[in-house]
Amino acid sequence: MKRVGFILKVKQERLAEYKERHRQVWPEMLQALRETGWRNYSLFLRSDGLLFGYLETDNFEQAVAGMAQREVNARWQAEMAPFFEELDGKRPDEGMFPLEEVFHLD
């Protein structure tokens, strides 16, 4: 099992809507995440738009690739892309670069 943390930046003017959208994640999106190995997936949002994501998975690259093959993911990413800064034409899931884990209390 691998722990993965990543950051993205939500546009300040879209924070409230971003949070609202995540109160109502589509059931088929949730199912696809589970089926492709995303476990204990959480998002944390700071008031300036800094988004920290955390998940556990056996293989992050495979988990991302598995979602990339799902039609529901394509729809979700298209809807979420306008919420983010600095994606340079990428989908939000293409902008998730794992942070280096430097400590874990275990």
CATH number at residue 81: 3.30.70.100
User: pLDDT class for 90, splitting at 50, 70, 90?
Assistant: confident
Residue 65 placed within a domain:
yes
Distance CA 40, CA 83 (A): 23
Residue 13 placed within a domain:
yes
Residue 45 placed within a domain:
yes
Looking at the structure of the chain, the number of domains it has is 1
Q: Which residues are catalytic?
A: 22
Q: pLDDT for 40-56, tens place per residue?
A: 999 999 999 999 999 99
Residue 105 placed within a domain:
no
For the cut 90, the answer to whether the pLDDT of residue 97 exceeds it is no
Looking at residues 76-84, what average pLDDT do you find?
A: 95
Looking at residues 57-83, what average pLDDT do you find?
A: 96
Residue 99 placed within a domain:
no
Q: Dump strand ranges (E) for 1-106.
A: 2-9, 39-45, 50-57
Q: Is 42 helix (H, G, I), strand (E, B) or coil?
A: strand
Domain with 13, as residue range(s), is: 2-94
For the cut 90, the answer to whether the pLDDT of residue 9 exceeds it is yes
Other CB atoms closer than 10 Å to residue 80's CB: what's the count?
A: 19
Residue 58 placed within a domain:
yes
